[in-house]
A and B are shown apart, each in its own frame.
Chain A
Amino acid sequence: MINIFIDDKPFKTKEETTVLKAAEEAGIAIPHLCFHSAFPPEGSCRMCLVEIEGLPKLELACSTQVREGMKVSTRSEKVIDARKGVLEFLLAEHPPDCPICDKAGECKLQDYYEEYGLFDNRFRESKEKKQKNIKIGKNLILDQERCILCTRCVRFLRDITKTRELGVFNRGLYSEINTYNDEPVDNNYSGNLAEICPVGAITDSDFRFKTRSWFLKEGESICTLCSRGCNIFIESHKGFARFPVPKRVYRIKSRENHKVNGFWICDLGRYGYPYLDEERLDKICVNNGKGNLTWQECIVSLADEIKKLHSAKKASRIAIILNFWLSNEELFLFKKIFVDDLGVKNIYFVDSPEGENDDFLLTSERCPNKRGAQEIGFDLKPLDSENLMNKTDLLLIFGLPVSDPNNLVEIKALFENVKTKIYFSSHSDELCSLADIVLPTVLIPEKEGSLTNVDGVVQKFLQVLEAPGECRPEWEVFVDLGRELEININYYKQFNTPEVVLKEMRKEISFFENKSE
């Protein structure tokens, strides 16, 4: 560790750190546009110029290494003047598109102008005219006039995806970024370009004109569309007082985590969020004529049925179909109740259909918690309906937001040959009218818990969306069930949050002992 001074305050920092990084760690933000931690410093935007004692010129914070005793000033008059100067140049040729630009509210140029600029426009010449609405990818639109040539997009496609769909052409003021002969940006990480563009030059057509960034609140969550468990931000609408908003979730953004996904997320995860709002099941449905039931009533009646079968040594007449979207805590509680306490053996897992992997983040396996299920000790049997037909009195199914049509066929057939069917589901589907009781459950962003990704990384997640209607998280349901079954009440009484469940898991299962995310 070495000692440096930033704005006259002393800080300790590691050697081989840049001034920019050291300042960031010290809580001092130095403006920058072209720099991105994923790439080596570019040095072209000139926004991060700072004053270093002893050096005649201003130096770039993004590429200057700290040295013992270095004194950096991020707010001296020279620095502020330089920042204003750079901003003025950038804004001179920049179109006044803010009223119609999606980036408004999260645009670096706007932010920096507000903080460091606030000067009048002194550009009296004609701005260069360039193309403004180029579709460069399935979800990407390029506006060359807004482009400040930070080249983050070009560098991303050159160094990360290595597909080079964008390039910089011409020279000087006529420099422009574009595709080659309209060949679009065509890779599974294209959405990251709209995110890393500091201004509204590359925008996402999925988000175009839908809402304004300041109406959204972001919540930290984990993507569940494959086994990687990429860290994401879910951006949901804060809502308006006087009229409803068509949906909650407007956008997914990537969240940095160097143990899992680095800086990026794939397009499957980025654009796969509509299921969070579409076709949701939010009411308890009773199809066996017993009228409207509350959760409490359903749990009590379910517990009664199970107790009856259990005491009659007929645990073999109980069958459960699970999925890999259940959290670690849920799977643990489930196992405690049904495997340990009740001795149920007919437990099956239904997989989401496999897809292509992309040699980077996307795994071919599309199960957010298959590894969790393995580590908790389940025997991951696929559904064997032959074994269950005409031998099952009680079937519990924990539904999948995305159900494979093949599974659906098999399950419908099974339904005809099972006495009582209870379906836990987050979405409305065909089974909802066929099961006896349908209980609405929440999705990952609507509850708390943890998931284990394909590499064995255990990641906690918190609730970032409100549970719709009567939806409840499965862990809560299991805790209630555990108590109602009266086999081991005191054990289940302690579990008032998933956090407590995880603590218990750490004690019992060595895999979870040292995992803390």
Chain B
Amino acid sequence: MSPEFSDKTKKKLEEIISRYSRKEAAILPVLHLAQKEFGCISVEEEKLVAELLDIKPIQVREVATFYTMLNQVPVGKYYIQVCSNLSCSLLGAESLIDYLTEKIGIKPGETTQDNKFTLSTVECLGACEIAPCMMINFDYHGNLDKKKIDKILDGLK
């Protein structure tokens, strides 16, 4: 079953592609939309995006595997990305990562059995003034401590 963009997305894609003097320049915006719609950039999405931009699927994979935020395999419903760079490290990110591992039962890089959570450590999120900080899907949560983490996670259905 090859994936197809929704009509609404197709319209958006048309507008986006028209911004650039070369179709392939739209690849990052297109890949973001594809990942949002289909969950990840697997072989099917590579083919779809390649056709849309008049390039070869290999070019899509070359780009998709370069960038950290583009996933080749699906992630859980809530993708918890904890910053482990300097400011967050100084303020205890490591122990919070251990706490998360303890709480949801997976190590960084893993996904829970029920696909609810994927945990990973990331580099600087650009929110050092609220360190330690994590990003769940695209929402930033800062000034973390164990209590706050409990509150946030318990609120996630």
Contact = CB atoms under 8 A, between A and B. Distances in A.
Interface of A: 164-171, 179-181
Contact of A171 (B56, B61, B65): B65
B58 A165 contact: yes
Chain A interface SS verdict (over half): strand
B59 A169 contact: no
Given A164-B59, A168-B62, A171-B66, 4 more contacts: A167-B61, A169-B66, A180-B57, A180-B61
B61 A169 contact: yes
A171 B59 CA distance: 14
B43 interface: yes
A169 B62 contact: yes
Interface of B: 43, 56-59, 61-62, 65-67
A164 B65 contact: no
B46 to A, nearest CB: 9
A169 B64 CA distance: 8
A483 B47 CA distance: 71
B43 A181 contact: yes
Nearest to B56: A164
Contacts of A167: 58-59, 61-62
Contacts of A170: 65-66
6 contacts: A165-B58, A166-B58, A168-B62, A171-B65, A179-B58, A180-B58
A381 to B, nearest CB: 49
Query: A-B pairs with the 3 shortest C-beta distances?
Result: A180-B58, A167-B62, A169-B65
Contacts of B65: 169-171
A167 B56 CA distance: 11
Contacts of B62: 167-169
Contacts of A171: 65-67
Interface centre among B57, B58, B67 (most CB of A within 10 A): B58
Nearest to A174: B65
B123 to A, nearest CB: 12
A371 B92 CA distance: 80
Contacts of B57: 180
Contacts of B61: 167, 169, 180
A179 B59 CA distance: 11
Contacts of A179: 58
A164 B59 CA distance: 8
A180 B57 CA distance: 8
Nearest to A169: B65
A164 B66 CA distance: 18
Nearest to A180: B58
Nearest to B46: A180
A168 B58 CA distance: 9
A326 B50 CA distance: 51
Nearest to A168: B62
A17 to B, nearest CB: 32
Contacts of B43: 181
Nearest to B67: A171
A402 B61 CA distance: 45
A165 B43 CA distance: 16
A167 B62 CA distance: 6
Interface centre among B43, B59, B62 (most CB of A within 10 A): B62
Contacts of B67: 171
A50 B57 CA distance: 39
A179 B62 CA distance: 11
B26 to A, nearest CB: 19
A179 B67 CA distance: 19
A164 to B, nearest CB: 5
A169 B60 CA distance: 10
Contacts of A166: 58
A170 B72 CA distance: 11
A399 to B, nearest CB: 46
Contacts of A164: 56, 58-59
B41 to A, nearest CB: 12
Contacts of B56: 164, 180
A171 B61 CA distance: 12
A434 B118 CA distance: 80
A176 B65 CA distance: 11
B73 to A, nearest CB: 14
Contacts of B58: 164-167, 179-180
A419 to B, nearest CB: 64
A280 to B, nearest CB: 44
Nearest to A183: B58
A357 B61 CA distance: 32
B77 to A, nearest CB: 26
A207 B65 CA distance: 33
A168 B56 CA distance: 14
A170 B66 CA distance: 5
A165 B56 CA distance: 10
A151 to B, nearest CB: 11
